[in-house]
Structure 1
Amino acid sequence: MPKQKKNNCQLSVVNCRSGQSLVEIMIGLGLGAVLIGAASLGITFMLRSSASSQNYQKGGQLAGGLFDKVSSWSSGNWQNIYGLIKGTSTQYFLNASGTALFSVQGQEGMLDNDVTSGLVGEWKFDEATSTTAYDSTGDNKTGTLTNGPVRTTSGCQIGYCLLFDGTSTYVNAPATSSYSNDVTASVWFKGGGQTASDWNYWMNSTINWLEFGTFSNGAIFKDNNASGTPSVSAGTTFVDNNWHHAVGIIRSNVMEIWIDGQLLGSRSDYPTGQSHSNVGIRIGGNGVARGWAGYIDDARIYNSALSAAEVGNLYRSTAFIRYFTVENVCRTNNSSSSISGVAPCGGGSINDPSTQKISVYTSWLPNNTGSPQLKLSNYITRWQNQVFNQSDWTGGAGQDGPFTSPGRGYSTGTNIDGQSNPGSIQILDLTP
């Protein structure tokens, strides 16, 4: 890693632990800005003979973009990254709340040619834990998993997905949005079984405006508040235990329903000038008895009418997943303080709390449920430093009374005098 000039440093105790005695002190020299060795980023390609160069290029862009976000996020607050669970078995992605980023356990689904213009709500269901379904647009329409829809990590369409029971399970997103006349609803669904002469909702609204799902006469998109409660039908329910993509659109006086990139139903007598205020969205059911019995993935709502090309992009785009892991880093316990690997540290090495190894993984269909196809790894360092343990204090007798200035009591083998290059201290194994 590049060296940084070690000026304007200060000595401080950064951590204390209880133990038997003052045995070791960890010294970190050269307090400065977060350093990221961008030039040394290493990309490891795990080639698949069937993968195209275009997918590798896009996968590399997505991996690099996530690494840049993680780097910036850690620069704002080191505890953002240091406080995460360490190890390659715990995976994270970043989500936004307004302009702030936060970490989520799981694997984020992405589209190659995504459509984000006009997108005001997107629930990917890519979280690995909790009853929260985050809105990936950053608009804070956070959904709540209600009555136990099951998180599913394999066999989904884009990243992870949810399995609903068809009766009481659903996701409830808050009533924080208002919609104009033009609107688009989009969802991936997979299931089998149709309630006779009743709705099985993929999506519906809390004010009984939007109804989107299957009925006995087919897949239906309906505005239940407009005059005449207009609706359009796809003619069949597509309840066949395969993944399908459904899009419902209102564009001026036209209503449309698209299934798998094909326009299957439309009408041109929709009463224009509609508006809907304080609308909440429910996904997978309404909590009564009109739920979807099957899987749902990547539910979206747009405050605009998508074009035919945009509908095609949502359906045909290659699906990617990406995530990152964090590992503790070991350095040699000598004056060189070189990186020697990741925890657990072997003999002659110690853990460096100011350096973390970040690995970003991406993969794509048809293999995105298997091993990652691209991996990017690098070290993020809070300080450009030297870190080691010391128990030899023969370099000086120390001092009595308050500690008002850095001392010189370091072993001569450390090349530290404590005054020209003061740093920070971590005191280990103390008892009261």
Structure 2
Amino acid sequence: MKRIIAEKQANQKWAFVAAVLLLLSVVFMPRSALAACANPVGEEGQIVYNTTYGTMQYCDDTNWISMGATIAPGGNNGPTDGLVARWRMDDGTGSAIAADMLGLHNATLTNMNTTSAWISGIRGGALLFDGNNDYLAIPDHSTLDLESFTLTTWVRFDGPVAANYFFEKGTAGQANYRFYLYYNGSNYVLACGFHDGTTWRQIEQTVGPSLGVWYHLACTWDNVGKELIMYVNGVTAGYGAGPFTPVQNNAALWLGRSQLAGAGTLLGAMDDTRIYNRALSPAEVEEVLQSGTATAHASLLGRWKFDESSGLIATDSSPNANIGTLGGGPTWQPTGGRVNGALDFDGVNDTVIVYTHPVFNDINTLSVSAWIYPRGWGEGNRGRIIDKRTGAQESFIFYVLNPGHLVFEASRWNGSNGVWGSSSAVIPLNTWTHVVVTYDYGALGNDPALYVNGSPVGVTESTTPTGAVVAETANINIGNDNGTARTFNGLLDDVRMYGRVLAADEVAALYDNPEGGVCTNPFRAEGAIAFNSTSGVMQYCNGSDWISMGPTVAPGGAGCSNPAGDRGTMVYNTTHSVMQYCNGTDWVGIGK
């Protein structure tokens, strides 16, 4: 493949691209003076890789133009500050609950068929409501009793009904908040607000939704600024202000139906529904709208960088966006990590829980990577790096064992678990060490591979696995086990899970390139550009996936003309201020 490689610049969030001689040429049509772009400063035609948004960009003489899809900051999660609950609705057929990603507010499917209600949505799965009596029930909790709030959801309307309710906590004169669409006899009206103990305080906006179309709806109330705002697809759709405060109550929260008898049930579907305990800004509402747009990567299942400095949420920077919830009080170390920040576990009860999600379940091939800084060997001398077990649901365990052995247990076997460890003590105390384990459940005779600082180490089997592989839906615990009895003692940084067995050179690349991500097929670092000769399209690596910069075409084509260029050549057209590449026949414009 013909390619150029992005080289990351120290102390910058931008990576400037340097051409690899003879592999790909970037041609500039003549111009007497090139214009420039800012933030960062760059000349017209210059290419940079924006690590904040995971996209390749070029300067068109004024602006930086993205050459592919962007990823929202925070790993496609959207804002996490103030996030109270998020129901992704990806649980799937057979599940009687819609799990809250934070684990505190799981929603029970009520009057809903646990098979047919689960459908494909705008972001993975979704839930279908019948317009009659379907709803999701969430018990009352103090964290759901809000003064300031933001309510967001994706909604699809499938037919005319008197009222489609999305959120309601309480009824009549005691609703803490509600968000719904109703028909007034002439028009459909979007409404959001609350009761203040005296009367309803809500804003309304006439809308004309189309059936079968997904809409992103948001409502924010700032109890300090006293402003109520509604958004449709990121655009302001209603505004109101006044010196009011939402009434507090002990009522349950319902999604998809009003708690007032006969008031209305959604006829349609909901997806990726969230509640915040603060009013998001318009930019943050847009960030929620854009989050989750990346296709879930079949290999990188999760990546927790631990670069936050506060709060109870550890962001997953993979496209799957499965956040971790802190428990027990692990301490953020914003500058104390192997790369940027890390999370400090006390060896007593600290943990990070990533609640069950289909992307993590029944993994038959896996790899786990982490940077560890042990100060001791943890509780029971078996401090967990990562542990995927919940009661009888078991998958694997990866931990350090006194006096410095690395141990992996494969626990999906229904006979005996397989247990393997490093043949010698390979983990030092008070030192950053990169560790990786890979394993394939395909056969009882398969052994894991263990790596330390990019190199394989000897493995000794202590227990041979027996039986057959069984299904599991366990949570993931980072830095502890499910019973918080095996706490890691020290720092953890950049924990990753892959749904396949990494090759030795890929493990070495993770060790050698701790700051960035990688792509496979071909294996390249984040920011690399390659021409895919099979699909006839230029692509770049955003840290997990190859992102196409144009349409795919049939293989073939000898080259392009005006100007002459080989298949896979990139040029910057100064006449039209656009970056182009030759797909074998035509020059394809990128980003415009």
TM-score, structure 2 as length reference: 0.37
Whose Rg is larger? Answer: 1
* Greater relative CO, 1 or 2 (CA 8 Å, sep 6+): 1
More helix by share: 1
TM-score, structure 1 as length reference: 0.50
